[in-house]
Structure 1
Amino acid sequence: MSGSKMDTPGTEVSLREEALQPTTIGSYTVAIARALDASGVDSKRIFTAVGIPLDLSTDPMTRLPAATMTRLYRACVDVTNNPYFGLTVAKHIHLTHLHALGYSLAASGTLMDFCRRLERYFRLVSQVARISVSQVDDQVLVRFDHVIELSSETEDAFFGFLIRTMRLIYKQEFSPLRVDMRRPMPHEGGEPYEALFRAPVRFKQEHGLLVFAKTDLTHVLSGSCPELAQVNDNIIISYLSRLDKSDVITGVTQKIIEFLPDGDCTRDKVASALHMSPTKLQLKLSQRGTNFQQLLDDTRKELACSYLSQASRPVTEITFLLGFSDTSNFTRAFKRWTGLSPTDFRAQP
């Protein structure tokens, strides 16, 4: 309506700014809708009030700005009068809501592989935070750095989902050693967090952090399927190249994977496929602190380790999938990358 808040110049600017914000995969809202319905609230009414379509596509390219998610969560907490609504949402997030990343996570060989995939590919699901994985002695630290200020419910839901999923694919008694959260403790107390995580929880910390025992994260998972994980990793990279059109590293990596089996994966061919000159490609990569040969080696190494974990693939087949002319060249390269021959790497427990 004329004269309404939606028609003011300031609001138009804020809407444009919102459209440029980091985004989250739209299928995540399915879990929020189910949490509302389980709480006795008509999710359709809330979604309509917030301005979110009721039939969002499951395509990972269907995205919602961070501010939209914050508005939705604010409405959910208000209507349910539940300060722990994010923890409720965690019960309803399914791996399939994460599209190809969900299937890749489920097929991971270990929880360490699971965490590394989150580190590499999380931005397919959401661009609101960056994940980094590190090891300190016998502990593994999974850190979450927020790109923008997030609603407390977003952090609650994702941390809760991760721990529930890890228990599902590993064992129900699994727990982190410690949980650090950016959010403040709710006025009602932190007991629901300690009950869920079964670990000490610290609030108002500088970073979100999950601390695990390394022995838990290196245990081989019963649902491990390297072939399925690899297929979905490649799908993720394809989507990321569309989502991150300005990300030259993602684009180059996708083309390397595409061209390697042909044995003709050169900088010039990749540059041409990305519609730029080799010189421009080299410049863009150098601005990101890398070069074509480094990306080629890194991609080959990652694919090689994945293929070798697939017992049904002979080394000869892997050699040609990675674009090497013969197995001796592949073996030399693999020893340079890992210090092991392909046969010795495959024989590891």
Structure 2
Amino acid sequence: MPRLTHAPDLIRVSALHGYIELIESKLVNPDALLSRVGLDRKQLSEPNNFVQYQQLIQLLEITAKELNLPYFGLELGRWQSLNILGSVGYLMGNCDTLEMALKNLTKYYHVHQNSADLLLEVGQDYVKLSFLVRNSLKISVHHGADLAMSVGVNLLKQLTDDQIKLHRLELPHSGNENPSVYRQALGQLPVFNCAHTAVVFDRKYLKIPIKNSDKQLFSILSQQLGDLKDTKRENISDHVEVLIKQYLLHEDFGVNLIAEKLSMSARSLQRHLTKHDTTFRELVDDVRCNLAHQYLTETSLSLSNISDILSFSNYSEFTRAFKRWYGIPPKDYRKSL
């Protein structure tokens, strides 16, 4: 029986939004801290880059210890808002109600990271939103839990225009010697030593309308996110396909660029893909094939424009590829529709 392989547990770099600024505000150079976990400023400069979740957790724990910041996760969370979730955050901000926003968050959270799940439990009186790390890490997640809690509280307040009153906050660690800091940062004292990081609030708040939501924008974003595969599946090719679509027109597009976005070497990426019976070239070919069909059937773009969008070097190359995919030239394919 073949050995089961697992894709790296990944999270978007946006989860570290504010890290550089926060460390520099304490008159410390963050570069040395980043290098200890194999990261650098360049990687943190693009929010759509991915890093391994263990790298993020290690960075939080090392930073807290080295700088003697026992509440570092809480501090970093103050710098973050709905925007760190990218397209998922924009979708949430254009939902009709808080309930709709949270359901979409749990549905598409895998776009932000594949190492944890969000569970929304709606009871008769209360609602519980839990953050569940799927794979156990061999290091402390104290500050990771604090960061998740701080961000979660911020998002709920932002979505409800600060109307929500939280009933209970749960953290999976024992807290620190000064738990009142949590009250100051979160608005109330959490319950420590719980099974997971979670927020509990009255069910009535689910009906709070989201201010300035745009139904047309929601429809567009829903369609875009609906096209993304669920990257919770243990298959790194899902991540690679998303990045190929995103960077296909980039001047440096290629396996090296995509590997960089995943914080690994090109050789490591190719090795992971081989374990899943595919290659980078095959994934690029699949993405181009599917996009070509979509553009031909759903848009009025010219064939030359489609060729350019799919990053072919010339129209003849696009035509040869299309005939290999569908058996006929793209011009004839469009006429047959």
- Give the TM-score normalised by structure 2: 0.61
Q: Is the 8 A contact 1:31 1:93 kept in 2?
A: yes
Partner amino acid, structure 2, of 1:156: D
CA deviations on 1:234-269 (whole Å, 9 max, x unpaired) are 33333446785859999xxxxxxxxxxxxxxxxxxx
Residue in structure 1 matched with residue 289 of structure 2 by the alignment? none
Question: What is the CA–CA distance in structure 1 between the aligned matches of 2:232 and 2:197, rounded to whole Å?
Answer: 25
Unaligned 5+ segments in structure 1 are 1-16, 251-349
Mean CA deviation greater in 119-128 or 195-204: 195-204
SS of equivalent to 1:212: strand
Cα 1:31–1:22 shift into 2, 3 Å? same
Cα 1:74–1:208 shift into 2, 3 Å? closer
Cα 1:39–1:94 shift into 2, 3 Å? farther
Is structure 2 residue 143 aligned with structure 1 residue 153? Answer: yes
Question: What is the CA–CA distance in structure 2 between the aligned matches of 1:196 and 1:145, rounded to whole Å?
Answer: 22
Q: Quick one: which of 105, 111, 131 aligns to 1:118? A: 105
Question: What is the CA–CA distance in structure 1 between the aligned matches of 2:42 and 2:103, rounded to whole Å?
Answer: 32
Is structure 2 residue 202 aligned with structure 1 residue 226? Answer: no
Cα 1:32–1:236 shift into 2, 3 Å? farther
Is structure 2 residue 36 aligned with structure 1 residue 58? Answer: no
Is structure 2 residue 163 aligned with structure 1 residue 205? Answer: no
Greater relative contact order (Cα 8 A, min sep 6): structure 1 or 2?
Answer: 2
Q: Is the 8 A contact 1:34 1:92 kept in 2?
A: no
Is structure 2 residue 135 aligned with structure 1 residue 139? Answer: no
Please state how far the C-alpha of 1:36 moved relative to its aligned partner: 1.6
Unaligned 5+ segments in structure 2 are 240-337
Q: Quick one: which of 83, 99, 103 aligns to 1:96? A: 83
Mean CA deviation greater in 84-93 or 131-140: 131-140
Please state how far the C-alpha of 1:68 moved relative to its aligned partner: 1.0
SS of equivalent to 2:42: coil
Is structure 2 residue 10 aligned with structure 1 residue 48? Answer: no
- Give the TM-score normalised by structure 1: 0.59
Question: What is the CA–CA distance in structure 1 between the aligned matches of 2:175 and 2:122, rounded to whole Å?
Answer: 27
Is structure 2 residue 73 aligned with structure 1 residue 83? Answer: no
Q: Is the 8 A contact 1:104 1:233 kept in 2?
A: yes
User: Where do 4+ consecutive residues of structure 1 move more than 3 Å?
Assistant: 57-60, 237-250
Residue in structure 2 matched with residue 183 of structure 1 by the alignment? 173
CA deviations on 1:143-201 (whole Å, 9 max, x unpaired) are 22221236121221122112112222323353310011112212x23212222333341
The count of corresponding residues between Structure 1 and Structure 2 is 231
Cα 1:242–1:135 shift into 2, 3 Å? closer
Cα 1:192–1:58 shift into 2, 3 Å? same
RMSD: 2.9
CA deviations on 1:244-302 (whole Å, 9 max, x unpaired) are 5859999xxxxxxxxxxxxxxxxxxxxxxxxxxxxxxxxxxxxxxxxxxxxxxxxxxxx
